[in-house]
Amino acid sequence: MSWAYAVVVFTYGIVVGSFLNVCIYRLPLAKSIIHPRSGCPRCGQPLAWYDNIPLLSWLWLRGRCRHCRQPIAVLYPLVELTAGLLALQVVHQFGLTIISGWIVLFGFALLVLTVIDFYHYILPDVITLPGIVLGVVVAGLPVSGPPLPPLEASLIGAVAGGGGLWLFAWLFEKMTGKVGMGMGDIKLLAMIGAWLGWQSLPLTLFCAGLVGSVVGVIWIVVSGRDRSQPIPFGPYLATGAWVYLFYGPEIYRWYLS
Ligand SMILES: [Zn+2]
């Protein structure tokens, strides 16, 4: 990929990232993501266009609102940067193709879900349910192909991902009397199965469990967090799916040899 392409792809990523911030901020509050225009979350002052430039405005304003001088969360530029790097990573790996466009879209959805689940312990249906349908639709389009699955694998993935995790959650609840998994996680795994095919499910779950336990232990040690508090599982499922997308075939080959 030439430098010019890389700059265009990264810029596209951070511009969309700026919109993803709006989704992350407003979806859990059940507010419209279109109206009104973006404003300072503290004082409500609408943002001028020059204060709404991804990454740069935050750096230029040194992380403070121009009007009320209150700090603007570092999360905003971080999401923009992540979206930019995510788009670059996909195009670098899979080329500047329509398929990469679908994968970037899937990645953006995972990013929004990850941040919302991390802060609010919810995975909004307005993303996961259309996400499941779109994953299956994309798999059936003529302009799809590897690393995205064929239609059958996508359909089986959606059913096995959602149904399998639902069954696991149901058994877990029967045996322990505790609620271990939310419906949001079940819909997210159905969405991952739809986008990446049923083959992605074992590694996604394994990876999510592994990363989740490690982060969970560190979290408890560092913050002295109460063990009985819920742990958002969405971020780890999203991480597992992303690992599968880029390294899945290699990991399976290594495991089988
Ligand atoms: Zn302000």
Please state the rounded mean pLDDT for residues 67-86.
94
Determine the pLDDT at residue 88: 97
Q: For residue 225, name the pLDDT band (cuts at 50, 70, 90).
A: low
Strand partners, 46: 39
- Please state, rounded to an integer, the average pLDDT across all residues of the chain: 91
Residue 227: pLDDT over 80: no
CA distances for 64 relative to 20, 61, 256, angstroms: 20, 6, 52
Ligand 1 center from residue 56 Cα (angstroms) = 17
Please check whether residue 170 is in contact with residue 178, taking contact to mean a CB–CB distance below 8 angstroms: no
Determine the pLDDT at residue 38: 85
Q: For residue 122, name the pLDDT band (cuts at 50, 70, 90).
A: very high
Ligand 1 center from residue 43 Cα (angstroms) = 4
Q: For residue 218, name the pLDDT band (cuts at 50, 70, 90).
A: confident
Please state the rounded mean pLDDT for residues 32-37.
82
**Separation of alpha carbons 115 and 24, rounded Å:** 7
Strand partners, 207: none
Q: For residue 10, name the pLDDT band (cuts at 50, 70, 90).
A: very high
Determine the pLDDT at residue 129: 97
Ligand 1 center from residue 45 Cα (angstroms) = 6
Handedness of CA 216, 167, 235, 210 (dihedral sign): positive
Ligand 1 center from residue 155 Cα (angstroms) = 46
pTM for the whole thing? 0.92
Ligand 1 center from residue 245 Cα (angstroms) = 40
